[in-house]
Every structure is written in structure tokens, then in C-alpha cells.
């Protein structure tokens, strides 16, 4: 890597081609940026002092002996500034009828080609502007043509000194060798900017200017065909404190499947590196290079898996009533509603390799039982990544029988399947975060509810909130206890699942901390649990109780356990 101060003539030195990655984002500058740019050019023209216009990062390309230009650079950073410069000087050259200014941005060869090669979004418009021989009115159908029209209408030659601009406009120029990591350097310099997604980096890695038809077939039609599809892949979820797009979830999951393929014999240390969420693009490059992966075969397989992903993984399931039977909808609710994204690689593996839909659903049902039992028992999830991204895929577990046997043999490690006794203790004593408790109650409710007996359907999971029946601030309005031990027992009981219920609307704070009678019935102006929980199979029977205390909490914990034991039966 070499870095230093660069002028316009240093960057466009008439013997190198600058290529914006063909599938890079489109040129997006608009009036605000153009006005600022024009003001800067006028200022430099007047004061004749050095002015830094930002960074330009260029990366050396490998060139073939048959290519006419031996120095080809990829524009890693600086696309917007360099494009604007070219358009500005083109308009200036037309107004001044100065051929020299126009030729700064062309190659000194017989072809006289434009030195800056644009991406597929803007190539036609950019070339149209750069090949103009006189000022014309062009339809402002994209930002390139809009920029041309802006400078045509607003650039005043009396305020511009071309030589001062060529002498004084400076960039932080960074030249990278072919081996340098452009993403790391780009992120360091643009730490407050928008990071390129894994999908954008892979797109330019897989496809070049000569692969346009392949791009249309294997990428655009899958990831960018229309706004609806783009919106799907741009869907963002929050898992813990990490924000991730569906594209990143997919490409991470696909890589986990590929590295477990025994035909590649991926080394253990490499697998460990490739399972990291950060540096996913580098993991792809390393995997393809180290294990001699055929890019075309990989691209074809990406298309197959991506279609499966889009047709099955759906965040909108959280807005709708879940079916009672085992299904992909319920798996989606576990993934996105209860933040279990670590199971995605194995679910995708099942969707690709288990063609029998009945078998798929049976496996999904067992996985629900496994995951929800462990959630009730507050079991550790830190080894889920090795289980769902490695073991089950590597061992090609593709039937319910194999899945049961594999999980049941995990009794000696952290991925064990809780017994009924452990499940019972979980309902009585586990203290879960609100999202987990809400999910557990919702999943039980969705199995218990006989829809034909209810005038209203269940809402989606995210429509429910969690309510502590005996409030955390029970000392204010509930019967007192005598001893410190009784107080500790009550505080423990009120945090258990037996004391929790889901309701479709949060209670008013004045009702939430009231005594049982008011909390149950509400007031004239504030509804209570009877209004919100009467239709819930998991709680409605308790609305007739005259008191709500530790014994009732324990009774309901047993009730929920008995239902869950059947719902999540694992034999």
C-alpha cells in the first residue's frame, strides 16, 4: 500500500484505467452535494490555495498480456467525487470550447477511451455525457444526467479558473496492491459512512464486466429483480445488540453449509475462522481460494439456496396468528421472535435436502420441542452455533429418526434435551427475560386454542405484552407476609412463568400495581385482566379465582407444565 497527496493529474495520469466495480452502487450525489462542489471550485479558482477533496482509494488489478492497457485500477473509494469531477470538467470544456480540459479524463491512445469506467447502473449515461461535442439538453432520468444538467445551468465560466483547480485540488491518494484488504482500509477511512454489505462485495467478486448475462441470471433475478425483492433482502433484524440484514443471514448460513461438506475437507482452524460473523466476505474469498472452489458451481448453488431462503424465511410471521401444527411458520417465530438465528443454517439445510414435506414438518416439530424445553429450563445457548452450523450438517442429519437419536445422545454435553422433570422445575423456578417468557406462553397458547370456539383469532406474537399477575411492587397493595423467608419465596414466585400471562394490550400502570380484585376487574375507566385475558386458554380459567397467591402461581405452573409436556413431547 502506498499513500500520499495526489492531484487530479496524478489520478488521471493518462496511462491507467480507473474502473468503478461494475455492480457497485449507483452514483447518488444530488443538488446539495453539487452546490457545495461548485462553491468549492469557485473558491479554489479565486484564492488559488490547496484544497483537499477527500480520499481516493485505488486497487491494482491483475492484467492479462492481451490487454491494451497494462495499468488498471479498481476504484474502492472516491466514486462520487471522481464522477462529479469528470462531469464538471466536461461541462466546463464545452462552455469554454477547450478540448484539452476534456482530454484530461481520456487515455492517450488511438481509441481515446474515457479513463473512468462506470458501473452498470450509470455506464450508458456517463458515457453519453463524456462523449458530448456540444452543450445539449438531456433528459434528467438519473443522477448522472441530473448532475450534467445542474452544471450546465449553474456553472459560470467567469468564476472558474481551470488551471488553479488542476493545481490545487488535492486528494488523499491510496494505492493498494492486488493482495491488500480493501474492505479493512475502506472501513478505517470511512468509519462513519455506510459499510458495504457482504452481498455487494460478493457481487463484484463473482461478476465482472464480461459476466453481465450471468449476473442477470444468477444474481439480479434473485436479489435485485424488483423493489419488493430488494426490500426483502434488505430486511434488518436485531439479534441481541447486532443488526443484520437478510442477505447477511443468508450468506452466512450458506457458507456454514458449504464448509461442512465432507468433499472439501475444510480444516478445523479454517472452519473456526469461517464461522465468525465479522469478515464474512474475507471468509468467502479464503474458502474459494484455499479449497479450489469452482465459482460458477458455487454461484449456481447460491441461487438454489437463496430461492429456498426467500420462499421460507419470513419476518412477517410475527404479525399473524401461528398455525397449531408444526410448520415453517412456527420455526420463523422461534428464529425472529425469540432471537434464535443460529438455527438458520440447519433449517436451510433441511429445506434443501429433505423433499418430503411431512418429514420436514416432523423435524421442525421436534426442533421446536427441543428449543422451547431448553428455553423453559433456561439452558445455555452458547453451543447452539456448533450444533446447528456444524454437527447436524456435517453428520447429514436429514430425518426425524436421525435427529432424535443425535439429540438424545447429547445427554452428556451442554446441548442435552431436558427431561419432563427438568421441564417441570423450569415452569416452577426459571426466571426468564420477558421475550422468552412471552414466546413460551404464546407457543403454548397457539397449540391449545380451539379456533372454532373463539370469535376472534389470535394476534401475531409481537402484538402481545407480558404481564406479571402479582406485580413486582406487591408490597403496596397486596397482602403482607410475616417472615423474610416468605418475602423471598414470594419474590421468587412472582418472577416464575406461573405468575406471567400474555395480553394483547398493556395494562395501565394504575391497574398493573393494584390488588388482585382491581387488577382482575379493572375500574370504570381502566380495563383489567378480564377484558384482555378472557379468551386465553393459558389464563382465562384463573380469572374466577378470589385470590391470587403463591399457591395459585404454583397451581398454574403445574397446569402449564402438563400442557407443555404433551405439546413438546419428545418420547
pLDDT digits (tens, 9 = 90+) for 362-400: 999 999 999 999 999 999 888 899 999 999 999 999 999
Torsion over CA: 213, 215, 218, 224 (sign): negative
- Backbone φ/ψ region at 55: left (φ over 0), alpha (ψ -120 to 50), beta: beta
Return the pLDDT at 66: 47
Interhelix angle 420-429/357-376, nearest 10 degrees:
50
Q: Name the residue with cell 471468509.
A: 283
CA separation, residue 57 to residues 2, 123, 332, 501 (Å)? 10, 20, 42, 57
Rounded Cα distance, 365 and 570, in Å: 10
Rounded Cα distance, 419 and 20, in Å: 59
Does the pLDDT at position 192 exceed 50? no
Return the pLDDT at 240: 62
Which has the minimum average pLDDT: 135-139, 186-190, 310-314?
186-190
pLDDT confidence band for 326 (50 / 70 / 90): very high
Helix (H) or strand (E) run with residue 3 in it: strand 2-7
Q: What are phi and psi of 106, to 5 degrees?
A: -125, 160
**From edge to edge, which strands make up the β-sheet containing 51-60?**
2-7, 169-176, 51-60, 72-77, 17-19, 116-117
**For range 10-34, the mean pLDDT:** 85
Q: Name the residue with cell 420463523.
A: 332
- Contact of 495 with 550, CB cutoff 8 Å: no
CA separation, residue 125 to residues 34, 90, 114, 281 (Å)? 17, 13, 13, 31
| Nearest alpha-carbon partner for 257 in 221, 306, 220 | 306
Q: Which of residues 73 and 304 earns the better pLDDT score? A: 304
Residue 536 CB neighbour total at 10 angstroms: 24
Distance of CA 322 to the CA centre of its chain: 24
**For range 119-124, the mean pLDDT:** 88
Average pLDDT of the chain is 89
Does the pLDDT at position 1 exceed 80? no
**For range 393-415, the mean pLDDT:** 90
Does the pLDDT at position 190 exceed 70? no
Question: What are 380's three cell numbers?
Answer: 445455555
Helix (H) or strand (E) run with residue 239 in it: strand 236-239
Q: Which of residues 186 and 337 earns the better pLDDT score? A: 337
Return the pLDDT at 110: 46
Rounded Cα distance, 357 and 377, in Å: 30
Amino acid at each position: 500500500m502506498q499513500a500520499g497527496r495526489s492531484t487530479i493529474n496524478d489520478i488521471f495520469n493518462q496511462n491507467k484505467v480507473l474502473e468503478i466495480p461494475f455492480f457497485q452502487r449507483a452514483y447518488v450525489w444530488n443538488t446539495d452535494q453539487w452546490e457545495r462542489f461548485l462553491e468549492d471550485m469557485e473558491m479554489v479558482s479565486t484564492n488559488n490555495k490547496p484544497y483537499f477533496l477527500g480520499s481516493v482509494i485505488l486497487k491494482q488489478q491483475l492484467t492479462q498480456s492481451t490487454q491494451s492497457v497494462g495499468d488498471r485500477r479498481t476504484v474502492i473509494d472516491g466514486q462520487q467525487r471522481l464522477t462529479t469531477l469528470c462531469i464538471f470538467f466536461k461541462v466546463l470544456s464545452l462552455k469554454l470550447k477547450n478540448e484539452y480540459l476534456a482530454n484530461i479524463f481520456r487515455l492517450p491512445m488511438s481509441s481515446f477511451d474515457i479513463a473512468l469506467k462506470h458501473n452498470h447502473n450509470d455506464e450508458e449515461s456517463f458515457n453519453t455525457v463524456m462523449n458530448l461535442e456540444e452543450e445539449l439538453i438531456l433528459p434528467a432520468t438519473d443522477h448522472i444526467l441530473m448532475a450534467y444538467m445542474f452544471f450546465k445551468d449553474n456553472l459560470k465560466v467567469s468564476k472558474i479558473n481551470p488551471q488553479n483547480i488542476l493545481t490545487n485540488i488535492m486528494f488523499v491518494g491510496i494505492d493498494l496492491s492486488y493482495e491488500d484488504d480493501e474492505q479493512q482500509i475502506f472501513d478505517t477511512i470511512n468509519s462513519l459512512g455506510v459499510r458495504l454489505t457482504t452481498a455487494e462485495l460478493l457481487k463484484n467478486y463473482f461478476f465482472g464486466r464480461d459476466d453481465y448475462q450471468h449476473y442477470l441470471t444468477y444474481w439480479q433475478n434473485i436479489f435485485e429483480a424488483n423493489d419488493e425483492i430488494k426490500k426483502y433482502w434488505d430486511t434488518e433484524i436485531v439479534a441481541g445488540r447486532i443488526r443484520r440484514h437478510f442477505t447477511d443471514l443468508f450468506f452466512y448460513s450458506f457458507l456454514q453449509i458449504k464448509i461442512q461438506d465432507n468433499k472439501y475437507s475444510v480444516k478445523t482452524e479454517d472452519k473456526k475462522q469461517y464461522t465468525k460473523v465479522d469478515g464474512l466476505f474475507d471468509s468467502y474469498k479464503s474458502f474459494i481460494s484455499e479449497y479450489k472452489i469452482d465459482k460458477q458451481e458455487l454461484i449456481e448453488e447460491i441461487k438454489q439456496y437463496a430461492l429456498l431462503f426467500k420462499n421460507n424465511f419470513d419476518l412477517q410471521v410475527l404479525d399473524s396468528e401461528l398455525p397449531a401444527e408444526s410448520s415453517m411458520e412456527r420455526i420463523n417465530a422461534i428464529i425472529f421472535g425469540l432471537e434464535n438465528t443460529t438455527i438458520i443454517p440447519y433449517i436451510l439445510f433441511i429445506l434443501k435436502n429433505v423433499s418430503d414435506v411431512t418429514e420436514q414438518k416432523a423435524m421442525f416439530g421436534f426442533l421446536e420441542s427441543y428449543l422451547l424445553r431448553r428455553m423453559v429450563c433456561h439452558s445455555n445457548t452458547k453451543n447452539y452455533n456448533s450444533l446447528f452450523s456444524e454437527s447436524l450438517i456435517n453428520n447429514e442429519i436429514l430425518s426425524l429418526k436421525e435427529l432424535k437419536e443425535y439429540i438424545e445422545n447429547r445427554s452428556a454435553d451442554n446441548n442435552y434435551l431436558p427431561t419432563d422433570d427438568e421441564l417441570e422445575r423450569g415452569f416452577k423456578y426459571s426466571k426468564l427475560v420477558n421475550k422468552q417468557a412471552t414466546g413460551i406462553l404464546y407457543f403454548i397458547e397457539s397449540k391449545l386454542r380451539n379456533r372454532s370456539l373463539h370469535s376472534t383469532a389470535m394476534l401475531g406474537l409481537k402484538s402481545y405484552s407480558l404481564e406479571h399477575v402479582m406485580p413486582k411492587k406487591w408490597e403496596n397493595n397486596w397482602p403482607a407476609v410475616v417472615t423474610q423467608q416468605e418475602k423471598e419465596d414470594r419474590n421468587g414466585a412472582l418472577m416464575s412463568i406461573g405468575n406471567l400471562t400474555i395480553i394483547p394490550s398493556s395494562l395501565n400502570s394504575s391497574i398493573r400495581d393494584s390488588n388482585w380484585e382491581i387488577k382482575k376487574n379493572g375500574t370504570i375507566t381502566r380495563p383489567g385482566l378480564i377484558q384482555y385475558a378472557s379468551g386465553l386458554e393459558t389464563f382465562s380459567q384463573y380469572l374466577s379465582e378470589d385470590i391470587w397467591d403463591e399457591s395459585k402461581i404454583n397451581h398454574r405452573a403445574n397446569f402449564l407444565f402438563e400442557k407443555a409436556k404433551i405439546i413438546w413431547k419428545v418420547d
